[in-house]
Amino acid sequence: MKPVTSIETPTRLEYEFTASGAQAEFLENIARGRLVGKRCPRCEKVYVPARGNCPRCGIATSDSVDVSDHGTVTTFCIVRVPSQNIELDPPYCAANVLLDGSDMPFITLLGECEVEDVRIGMRVEAVWKPKQEWGPTFENIRHFRPSGEPDVPVEKLGAWV
Amino acid sequence: MAQRCAVTGVGQTRHDNKRIDVSQFGLVREAAIRALEDAELTWSDIDALVIGKAPDLFEGVMMPELFLAEALGGTGKPMLRVHTAGSVGGATAIVAASLVEAGVHERVLTVSYEKQSESNAMWALSIRVPFQQAVVAGAGGFFAPLIRSYMRRSGAPEDTGIRVALKDRRNALKNPYAHLRFPDITFEQIADSPMLWDPIRYLETCPSSDGACAMVLASESVAKRARRTPAWVHATAMRSEPTQFAGRDQVNPQAGKDCAKDLYAKAGISDPRREIDCAEIYVPFSWFEPMWLENLGFADDREGWRMTYEGVTALDGDLPVNMSGGVLSSNPIGASGMLRFAEAANQVRGLAGEHQIQGAQRALGHAYGGGSQYFSMWIVGSEPR
Amino acid sequence: MRDVAVLSFAQTPYKRREASRSEVEMVMAVVTEAIADSGIPKGAIGFTCSGSSDYIAGQAFAFVGAVDALGAWPPISESHVEMDGAWALYEAWVKIQCGAADSALVFAFGRSSMGRLPETLTMQLDPYTLAPLGIDAVSLAALQARSLLDRGGVTERDWAEIAVRSRRDAMANPFAQLRGESEVDKLLAEPYLVSPLRKHDCPPISDGAAAVVIAADDVARRAGPRPVWIRGIDHRIEPHQPGVRDLTRSPSTSLAGRKAGAVPERLELAELHAPFTHQEWILREALGLGEGLRINPSGGALAANPMMVAGLARIGEAAQRIRESGSGLALAHATQGHCLQQNLVCVLEAE
């Protein structure tokens, strides 16, 4: 008799996620084309996407703050391998972008530029999907692209670089 | 501390992409039996189990230690399961050591493992949680920008990462358990390997491995009766900080600096570069060697690359780093941290085989995890402190 | 051994579905309250340990986000167990015993409502021989209950009485989820859910979080007027395969109770983590708890059973109640795994 060396047991689990108050507010706003962050009442830093609490201070965030859809590349990498979840063909650029008016960069994709031209300090802007496709999701922003504004000197990016 | 603690047994499996020759039971037992044999103990001598593993979704079993405990002789014993992301192997060893140091137990068996081939780890990491942004391009996509920041900050030569990879891959050839072994590996092969997440090349990254590591931690009275030399635990430390917050330095995180400082103070070390003989540090991408050398206080900020460049971290250097070939050569995630701790122990026991550093008396084991936010470290020595 | 005391306990109200707060927000609420009540400044707490499960949260590394709730800056000495929070408390107790810390924050969280809990718990079974059968958690508990009936000495009526008592006691517990008056005969007239278990024999599915602060010796005495001392704590595991053990007994609970120094005659009350009515019966026998002893004044896991939290909450509830009554010994118990596979016993004393 042939020994059994492996078995296959496909599994399916379903989860239903619910948005917290801060997430819901952020999503309602992005559905209208606005980027609204949350400010920590203690350290006064602004977080986008909005968070219900300040991760540094461990307290609830308070004010809602509109931020710009323009920002600065604080660092980046060039992805040259295909990846699950990503529709773009490699090579493409994944960059940490600090939006004007926000205090923490987030990772996003850069498009409409040659990957070799991307640099720390480069100014970028959000490229939104057509308005009729907007929904309560971060995916309303297709990607970011160079805005053509002059670079931010690296020393002005402070702690981020 | 109620009593001193020492490592009296170390065991690990052969690490491979898919260990289809064993079940999860077989994998953890392979490492555990080797550790018990090394300690000259049997299952019934063990007082308690401490098991570590990275996310349960990697094997597709929720809290798998519940079904594994009996295969590790756990019936009727206390069993703890630790999970602190990538640092878990180190954290698990620290929990096991504290059970002895607290005077709760005399002999603790600690085992950590990963058997990703039994599920789909890429899938497990790619679950899209609504309302959150998709993480771009996995771990490489997260860490590559940090490496670019380091390169800019330090002005390190662009081939620093290649040099680290060459050293670790050559060291791995002396380690019979290593997963990735490239005989005759050259600088050019690494330099010419494809860029995955630019600036990270293929041969500068870690593999994903099936594997396990185990250790026996024992009290002073037990360790003094052991026939083989024990490794004495001089100090342990752990630190965590949030993944992201405004102003966080992700390249040289405060949690790592604080953890090292605490560790050295507990071990009575004032000049780590001089007083530590060798170090196994968690380097999943080659550039993390110079980054962690700075974070650990072996080099000044922005100067870590010089140690690599000048050969200080080579097997015959002043401060050998990753004698075993490191995470770059074997990466069973849940066990990767414990492998670092175990290699440090075997070095001071004089049992590290072909990659032994002659006369090593004091060694560092280091692990990190999450977004460079969880740190666990220990110092072990050939003599009790 | 150092004397270690429970200084404070905080918990969320338990709900079938916590829809308005994320895990981080739940954790932040209980952690903030527990620290404030402990009398120890946040920055002076020497160690933090938490318990949670990625499978409950439906994502890998789910516990990492909980650090955001702690204000972990400057960085903190912290650990996590993929276990019920009672074991996180055990790890913290060990840290204090070895002198690495004088005080610790322990917390646990779980939102079971996100998934389908009985099916999620199937993933907790041996992946080679048990999980492929697709047995869910309630069915396994029913196997255990059937074995117990077959052994004799207990009836379904005894179990219904446990359910009635638990829900009645829960009326005085503002955090409980299932509470109210019910009648044994009415409950027994209900159909079986999975024979021999009826709905009232099973725990509710609950979302929630809890936090406890513990401290040693003088730090505990200085912090507040009424520390509740941990006189003993121990935990033990049994084989996983239901077929290789006597499901009607819990030798691991008996052993943990002995090692923790539990003396049944001296106890004022016991908080037992018995998610199913028949398991309370098994646990009482294993611990030798007499008829007269007050069991689960909080309503226990039959009134709220937040996964990963319920065991820690038993320790918190037991400590709180003897602190309020002013003196006496209490026993707290936690379990995890199917059919009471792993059990922890903690003996507490108020001065």
Which of the two residues, B13 and C351, has the higher pLDDT score? B13
pLDDT at A70: 97
Residue C186: pLDDT over 80: yes
Q: Find, among C128, C80, C87, C92, the residue nearest to C2 by Cα.
A: C92
Residue A129: pLDDT over 90: yes
Residue C270: pLDDT over 90: yes
Query: Is residue A8 one of the residues assigned to a domain?
Result: no
pLDDT digits (tens, 9 = 90+) for A12-70: 899 998 888 899 999 999 999 999 999 999 999 999 989 999 999 999 999 999 999 99
Handedness of CA C211, A26, A19, A104 (dihedral sign): negative
Q: Is C28 within 8 Å of A53 when comparing Cβ atoms?
A: yes
pLDDT digits (tens, 9 = 90+) for B339-381: 999 999 999 999 999 999 999 999 999 999 999 999 999 999 9
Query: Is residue B29 one of the residues assigned to a domain?
Result: yes
Q: What's the rounded mean pLDDT across residues B248-253?
A: 95
Q: Which residues of B touch C336 (CB under 8 A)?
A: 63, 66
Contact (Cβ atoms closer than 8 angstroms) between residue C286 and residue C347? no
Q: Which residues of C touch B118 (CB under 8 A)?
A: 127
Q: Which residues of A touch C64 (CB under 8 A)?
A: none
Question: C117-203+229-350 domain in CATH 3.90.650.10?
Answer: no
DSSP state, residue A3: P
Q: What distance in Å separates the CA atoms of residue C182 and residue B28, rounded to the nearest whole number?
A: 49
Query: Is residue B68 one of the residues assigned to a domain?
Result: yes
pLDDT at A88: 73
Contact (Cβ atoms closer than 8 angstroms) between residue A46 and residue A103? yes
Residue B320: pLDDT over 80: yes
Beta-ladder partners of B224: none
Q: Which residue has the tokens 């600088």?
A: B187
Distance from CA of B135 to the nearest CA of A (A): 7
Beta-ladder partners of C78: C48
Nearest to C115 among A14, A55, A56 (CB): A14
pLDDT digits (tens, 9 = 90+) for B5-31: 999 999 999 999 999 999 999 999 999
pLDDT digits (tens, 9 = 90+) for B276-310: 999 999 999 999 999 999 999 999 999 999 999 99
Q: Is B150 on the interface with A (CB under 8 A)?
A: no
Of the CATH numbers 3.40.47.10, 3.40.50.10540, 3.40.50.170, 3.30.70.2340, which one belongs to the domain with range C4-116+205-228?
3.40.47.10
pLDDT at A5: 86
Using a pLDDT cut of 70, give the percent of chain B over it.
Answer: 96
pLDDT at C229: 97
Query: Is residue A7 one of the residues assigned to a domain?
Result: no
Task: Determine how β-strand C294-295 pairs with β-strand C267-271.
Answer: parallel
Q: Which residues of B touch A49 (CB under 8 A)?
A: 132-133
Q: Which residue has the tokens 């072990």?
A: B380
Q: Find, among B238, B279, B233, B283, the residue nearest to B376 by Cα.
A: B238
pLDDT at B128: 65
Query: Is residue B78 one of the residues assigned to a domain?
Result: yes
Q: What's the rounded mean pLDDT across residues C105-117?
A: 96
Residue B130: pLDDT over 70: no
**Which chains neighbour B (Cβ–Cβ under 8 Å, 3 or more pairs)?**
A, C
Contact (Cβ atoms closer than 8 angstroms) between residue C235 and residue C337? no
Sequence-ordered list of residues with C-beta below 8 angstroms from that of C183, at least 6 positions apart, any chain: C164
Tokens found for residue C228: 């509740």
Distance from CA of A17 to the nearest CA of B (A): 7
Chain C residue nearest residue B55, CA to CA: C60
Q: Are A74 and A142 in the same domain?
A: yes
HEC profile of chain B: CCCCEEEEEEEECCCECCCCCCCHHHHHHHHHHHHHHHHCCCHHHCCEEEEECCCHHHCCCCCCHHHHHHHHCCCCCCEEEECECECHHHHHHHHHHHHHHCCCCCEEEEEEEECHHHCCHHHHHCCCCCCCCCCCCHHHHHHHHHHHHHHHHHCCCCCHHHHHHHHHHHHHCCCCCCCCCCCCCCHHHHHHCCEEEECEEHHHECCCCEEEEEEEEEEHHHHHHCCCCCEEEEEEEEEECCCCCCCCCCCCCHHHHHHHHHHHHHHCCCCHHHHCCEEECCCCECCHHHHHHHHCCCCCCCCHHHHHHCCCCCCCCCCCECCCCHHHHCCCHHHHHHHHHHHHHHHHHCCCHHHCCCCCCEEEEEEEECCCCEEEEEEEECCCC
Q: Are A49 and A78 in the same domain?
A: no
Ordered alpha helix ranges (H), chain C: 23-38, 54-57, 85-97, 117-122, 137-151, 156-170, 184-188, 217-223, 251-259, 277-287, 310-325
Choose one of A67, A97, A125: the last residue of a domain: A67
Q: Is C118 on the interface with A (CB under 8 A)?
A: no
State the residue range of the domain holding A62: 18-67
Nearest to A15 among C28, C58, C131 (CB): C58
Dihedral pair phi/psi, residue B310, rounded to 5° = -90, 5
Q: Are A81 and A134 in the same domain?
A: yes
Residue A72: pLDDT over 60: yes
Query: Is residue B90 one of the residues assigned to a domain?
Result: yes
Q: What's the rounded mean pLDDT across residues C21-40?
A: 95
Q: Is A13 within 8 Å of C28 when comparing Cβ atoms?
A: no
Q: Is C228 exposed, middle or buried (0-12, 13-18, 19+ CB in 10 A)?
A: buried
Residue B122: pLDDT over 70: no
Q: Hey, is C98 helix, strand or coil?
A: coil
Tokens found for residue B208: 């994903």
Q: Which residues of B touch C101 (CB under 8 A)?
A: none
Query: Is residue B245 one of the residues assigned to a domain?
Result: no
pLDDT at A17: 87
Mean pLDDT rounded to a whole number for chain C: 96
Q: What distance in Å separates the CA atoms of residue A21 and residue A36, rounded to the nearest whole number?
A: 13
Q: Give the ipTM.
A: 0.97
| Residue ranges matching CATH 3.40.47.10 in chain C | 4-116+205-228, 117-203+229-350
The structural domain count of chain B equals 1
Q: Is A7 on the interface with C (CB under 8 A)?
A: yes
Q: Is C28 within 8 Å of A59 when comparing Cβ atoms?
A: yes
Q: Is A6 exposed, middle or buried (0-12, 13-18, 19+ CB in 10 A)?
A: exposed
Chain B residue nearest residue A83, CA to CA: B137
Q: What's the rounded mean pLDDT across residues C10-25?
A: 94
Q: Find, among C88, C261, C257, the residue nearest to B91 by Cα.
A: C88
pLDDT at A161: 61
The structural domain count of chain A equals 2
Q: Which amino acid is at B310?
A: E
Tokens found for residue B272: 């780590």
pLDDT at B302: 97
Tokens found for residue C122: 């199937």
Q: What distance in Å separates the CA atoms of residue B191 and residue B169, rounded to the nearest whole number?
A: 13
Q: Is A13 within 8 Å of C132 when comparing Cβ atoms?
A: no
Distance from CA of C234 to the nearest CA of A (A): 33
Q: What distance in Å separates the CA atoms of residue A111 and residue C230, rounded to the nearest whole number?
A: 60
**CA angle, residues B86, B88, B89, in degrees to nearest 5:** 105
Query: Is residue A104 one of the residues assigned to a domain?
Result: yes
The DSSP code sequence of C261-315 is T--GGGEEEEE---SSHHHHHHHHHHHT--TTSEE-TT-GGGT--BTTTHHHHHH
Question: Which site among A35, A51, A53, A77 would you substitute to test the B interface, given the most B Cβ atoms closer than 10 Å to its Cβ?
Answer: A77
Burial profile C128-161: b = 16 or more Cβ within 10 angstroms, e = fewer = bebbbeebbbbbbbbbbbbbbeeeeebebeebbe
User: Which has the minimum average pLDDT: B60-69, B140-149, B282-291, C226-235?
Assistant: B140-149
Q: What distance in Å separates the CA atoms of residue B9 and residue C348, rounded to the nearest whole number?
A: 36
Q: Find, among B356, B351, B375, the residue nearest to B315 by Cα.
A: B356
The CATH number of residue B69's host domain is 3.40.47.10
Q: What's the rounded mean pLDDT across residues C90-102?
A: 97
Q: Find, among B168, B97, B8, B112, the residue nearest to B377 by Cα.
A: B97
**Which chains neighbour C (Cβ–Cβ under 8 Å, 3 or more pairs)?**
A, B
pLDDT band (50, 70, 90) for residue C337: very high
Q: What distance in Å separates the CA atoms of residue C3 and residue A81, rounded to the nearest whole number?
A: 56
Stretch (H or E) spanning A22:
helix A21-30
Chain C residue nearest residue B3, CA to CA: C98
**CA angle, residues B175, B176, B179, in degrees to nearest 5:** 85
DSSP state, residue C175: T
Handedness of CA C69, B281, B98, C237 (dihedral sign): positive
Tokens found for residue C343: 């059990």
Q: What's the rounded mean pLDDT across residues B334-339?
A: 98
Q: Are A31 and A101 in the same domain?
A: no
Q: Are A49 and A100 in the same domain?
A: no
pLDDT digits (tens, 9 = 90+) for B183-228: 999 999 999 999 999 999 999 999 999 999 999 999 999 999 999 9
DSSP state, residue A16: -
pLDDT band (50, 70, 90) for residue B125: low
User: Which has the minimum average pLDDT: A67-71, A156-160, C293-297?
Assistant: A156-160
Chain C residue nearest residue B125, CA to CA: C60
Q: Are A91 and A127 in the same domain?
A: yes
Query: Is residue B99 one of the residues assigned to a domain?
Result: yes
Residue B134: pLDDT over 60: no
Question: Which site among B27, B197, B210, B249 would you substitute to test the A interface, given the most A Cβ atoms closer than 10 Å to its Cβ?
Answer: B197
Query: Is residue A33 one of the residues assigned to a domain?
Result: yes
Q: Is B148 on the interface with A (CB under 8 A)?
A: yes
pLDDT at C226: 87
Q: What distance in Å separates the CA atoms of residue C283 and residue C266, rounded to the nearest whole number?
A: 17
Residue B328: pLDDT over 60: yes
Q: What's the rounded mean pLDDT across residues C249-275?
A: 97
pLDDT digits (tens, 9 = 90+) for B26-79: 999 999 999 999 999 999 999 999 999 999 999 999 999 999 999 999 999 999
Q: Are A81 and A145 in the same domain?
A: yes
Nearest to C24 among A17, A18, A53 (CB): A53
Q: Is B56 on the interface with C (CB under 8 A)?
A: yes
Q: What is the dihedral of CA B321, B326, B329, B332, to 10 degrees?
A: 180
Q: Is A77 within 8 Å of B247 when comparing Cβ atoms?
A: no
Dihedral pair phi/psi, residue B380, rounded to 5° = -120, 150
Interface of B with C in 244-263 (CB under 8 A): 245, 253-255, 258-259, 262
Q: Is C267 exposed, middle or buried (0-12, 13-18, 19+ CB in 10 A)?
A: buried
Query: Is residue A59 one of the residues assigned to a domain?
Result: yes
State the residue range of the domain holding B101: 5-121+209-225
Question: Which site among C94, C234, C259 would you substitute to test the B interface, given the most B Cβ atoms closer than 10 Å to its Cβ?
Answer: C94
Distance from CA of A148 to the nearest CA of B (A): 22
pLDDT digits (tens, 9 = 90+) for C127-149: 999 999 999 999 999 999 999 99
Sequence-ordered list of residues with C-beta below 8 angstroms from that of A132, at least 6 positions apart, any chain: none
Residue A159: pLDDT over 90: no
Distance from CA of A9 to the nearest CA of C (A): 6
pLDDT at A19: 86
Chain C residue nearest residue A18, CA to CA: C19
Q: Is A157 on the interface with B (CB under 8 A)?
A: no
